[in-house]
Structure 1
Amino acid sequence: MPHQVKAVVVKAKDEPVVIETITVPDPGPGEAVVDVLTCGVCHTDLHYKQGGIGDDYPYLLGHEATGVVSQIGEGVTQIAVGDRVILNWRAVCGECRACAKGQPQYCFNTHNATQKMTLQDGTELSPALGIGAFAEKTLVAAGQCTKIDDDVDPAAAGLLGCGVMAGIGAAINTGEVKRGESVAVIGCGGVGIAAVAGARLAGATTIVAVDIDGAKLELAKGLGATHTVNSREEDPVEAIRKATGGFGADVVIDAVGRPETYKQAFYARDLAGRVVLVGVPTPEMALELPLLDVFGRGGSLKSSWYGDCLPSRDFPMLVEQYRLGRLDLDAFVSERIGLDQIEDAFEKMHRGAVLRSVVEL
């Protein structure tokens, strides 16, 4: 029988979010219904609200979530009712050319639930990133559920579902940071600070955090930065070189996603170093670099999609690092809130006053 649950919906561009009763259908083949425990408030949810991702309103917001599987559909074998799971927005197909090459983290045919959740009048909802977890229950593809042990704080573990995974993965997976290397991270919001934590987890010995906000730089120090640079006060390229013996960093991660910061990352790396772009640019942005400089500096220029993660591989590993005290996910949880406080959380996020507000249901 379909479920009637409370959920946070935005009905038109830039309108305030509202709490609505929505209908969540029973799961079909390959689907699961998940009782949501926690869901982080991410910039991507704000982008949906502002029309920055599309105009398929109404949107059911929320995607950085943990929950408990309450129903499974036909053919679902990888999860069972009662499993604690982190939700992800890239259920791999197992059949496309990336999956066939043994690189499912680059799957070109990721998918979500086939059925639609709806408002009570039957209007179909567009779930944020195919999840829609600012809700008491949500419907997802079973492949969007990654089982984890239930002895860790769900509010902390759930942040691996998006922003924290994007940052950690930019360092570990895309940047392939190795023990003893130097890393610089430009932009110390949630994703950037997660990249700092990822660099430390990978064994980097010099980690330079760059931002224009002193408070964010202090947070970065707490999560592994060995050097901080306030780019309002000094040239970040020169500061990164100074911190790395005059050479530049082995890996520079741009967690802002602007032409200005990308150029800083490009010139702040050592010869044959790696640049990783994990900050998301807007459509009108364009980059101009001398082609001779691209050739002459060698190395690689990479983009990181979702931290190039494979949830089935990376989520349990990172939860274990959290349990062992090597990854401080608790530091990313700035506050715990209810469904009715999401507008306030968006405002705090816009001011840079929080790393993550987490909704607890």
Structure 2
Amino acid sequence: MDKPAPGDGQVLVRINACAICASDLHFLRGGEKMVELSRELGGPYASLDLEKKVVLGHEFVGEIVEYGPNSRESIKVGARVVAVPVIMNSGGQSVIGFDNNYPGGFSEYAVLDEKFILEVPEGVDDDAAALVEPLAVGIEHARSGEPSVDDVAVVVGCGAIGLGVIAGLKLTGVTAIVAVDFSESRRRLALEMGATLAIDPRERSPYEAIPELDGRRTTIVYECVGVKGLLNEIINSVGYNTKIVMGGYSMAAEEIYIFTAQNKHLKVYFASGETPDDMSLALKSIADGTTDVRPWLAPRRIGLSGLKQALESSTESSAPIRTIVDPLLP
């Protein structure tokens, strides 16, 4: 592909590192459905042409090479930056890595929207900087449920989203956090991120009174799995006045019993992508050591030749939370 050129208010960066996200695999397996639903119901992928080239990768860090016309140039050329992976244009918005015109972080270069870039401090290395974006998503999901310090939060699913939610809840002062996952290794990671308790749902229900929390029950549930039927299971299991945040990524139609949700006075929130403020908080918490994302990382980086296998195994419970790709490596 040709080297991209930055337009008005845009910046060209050379990619240093890009993390693999499970949504990259979802796109490879269900891109047609993503485009179809966006065209039918509205969404950022409506203009995507799957007959043309697409370069994935939206969790990246890169060095500024040059600015396009009419830019503020508030960060010096050569500085490292991360960004919300979105380009604002006259047609709305384009998602970097899911757009024919804006290649993602698995390429050598990417064009970013100058409004959404943040300079990476010297003390944060490239691998950690590549995790700012997924951590920011978890922070956004955490605050979407409007949690209070008195909440008992149950986080279902301890992949990157769930771990990011746990980190986000800690940042907002929530101290009673119950992590739920089938995988023992991911439950351990959840405890490292700040969960109070980690539960295997095959052994006990996280929705009953919790002895370790003085018999308190959950007041807010974060669904971070994206499996059809799980929302209805949560609705049927929780107590009165519980809040439910849907953060798991799913394109399957969901059936729920509204009768049950109404009788329990439940509230359901739908989490979305991160904002610049979420990115800023994520970067700050990594830089000052409040949030340690190093346990998310695979032991070593890979090059493009290892990308296919790493993508295919990325949703397995034994896979690392994030594998870093260096697009300059073979």
2:242 partner SS: strand
1:332 paired to 2:315: no
1:301 to 268, 277, 285: 268
CA distance in 1, matches of 2:78, 2:234: 45
Equivalent residue letter for 1:338:
G
Root-mean-square deviation over aligned CA pairs = 2.7
Task: Give the letter aligned to residue 69 of structure 1.
Answer: I
**Alpha-carbon distance in structure 2 between the residues aligned to 1:244 and 1:287:** 32
Letter of the 1:56 partner, please give it: L
* Deviation string, structure 1 residues 139-186 (Cα, Å, up to 9, x no partner): 23333423332331221122222x332222211x21232324221001
| 40, 64, 68: which one aligns with 2:63 | 68
Instruction: Work out the CA distance in 2 between the residues paired with 1:267 and 1:349.
Output: 31
| Preserved CA contact (<8 Å) 2:207 2:218 | no
SS of 1:156 mapped into structure 2: helix
Given residue 296 of structure 1, which amino acid in structure 2 is its aligned partner?
N
Change (3 A) 1:281 1:48: closer
AA in 2 matched with 1:82 = G
Structure 2 equivalent of residue 6 of structure 1: none
Structure 2: where are the runs of 5+ without partners? 36-48
Work out the CA distance in 1 between the residues paired with 2:205 and 2:315: 25
Q: Residues 11 and 114 of structure 2 are in contact (CA less than 8 Å); yes or no, is this contact kept in structure 1?
A: yes
Structure 1 moving runs of 4+ over 4 Å: 240-247, 267-270
Instruction: Measure the CA separation in 1 of the matches of 2:85 and 2:235.
Output: 30
| 1:317–1:193 CA distance, 2 compared to 1 (3 A) | closer
| Residue 72 to residue 23, structure 1, CA distance change in 2 (3 Å) | same
Structure with the bigger RCO (C-alpha within 8 Å, sep 6+) is 2
Distance 2:14 2:221 in 1: 39
> Structure 1 residue 276: deviation in Å?
0.5
- 1:249–1:273 contact (8 Å) kept in structure 2: yes
Aligned to 1:126: 100
CA deviation vs aligned residue, 1:222-264 (integer Å, no higher than 9, x gap): 11111111122333433x6555555532221000122432234
Alignment of 1:1-361 (within 5 A): 22-52=1-31, 53-54=34-35, 56-57=50-51, 58-77=53-72, 78-91=74-87, 109-111=92-94, 126=100, 130-161=102-133, 163-171=134-142, 173-238=143-208, 245-246=214-215, 248-267=217-236, 269-283=238-252, 285-291=253-259, 293-306=260-273, 309-311=274-276, 313-335=277-299, 336-352=301-317, 353-360=319-326, 361=328
Measured in 1, the distance between the counterparts of 2:153 and 2:95 equals 35
1:125-149 per-residue CA deviation (whole Å, 9 max, x = no partner) reads 726xx55110111123333423332
Percent of aligned pairs with the same amino acid: 26
Relative to structure 1, the CA distance from residue 203 to residue 264 in structure 2 (aligned partners, 3 Å threshold; closer, same or farther) is farther
> What code does the residue aligned with 1:324 have?
D
Q: Distance in 1 between matches of 2:103 and 2:84?
A: 8
Mapped to 2, the partners of 1:148 and 1:324 lie a distance apart of 12
User: Matches of 2:66 and 2:156 in 1, distance apart?
Assistant: 43
Give the aligned residue type for 1:263. N
The alpha carbon displacement at 1:38 in A equals 0.8
- Is contact 1:209–1:227 with CA below 8 Å preserved after alignment? yes
Shift of 1:339: 2.2
- Aligned to 1:263, the other structure's residue is in SS state helix
* Aligned equivalents of 1:350, 1:112: Cα separation in 2: 22
* Structure 1 gap ranges (5+): 1-21, 96-107, 118-124
Please, what TM-score do these two structures have when normalized by structure 2? 0.83
Q: Name the CA distance, whole Å, in 2 between partners of 1:33 and 1:330.
A: 28
Tell me if the contact between 1:85 and 1:147 (Cα under 8 Å) persists in the aligned partners: yes
1:198 CA displacement:
1.7
CA distance in 1, matches of 2:57, 2:76: 23
* CA spacing shift, 1:236–1:216, aligned 2, 3 Å: same
Evaluate the alpha carbon distance shift between residue 233 and residue 67 of structure 1 in structure 2; reply closer, same or farther with a 3 A threshold.
same
Structure 2 Cα separation of the partners of residues 299 and 242 of structure 1: 24
Output the amino acid matched with 2:154.
A
Look up the match of 1:19.
none
In 2: Cα distance, 1:144 partner to 1:203 partner: 27
CA distance in 1: counterparts of 2:325 and 2:179, whole angstroms: 28
Change (3 A) 1:223 1:268: farther
**Count of matched residue positions in the alignment of Structure 1 and Structure 2:** 307
TM-score (norm 1): 0.76
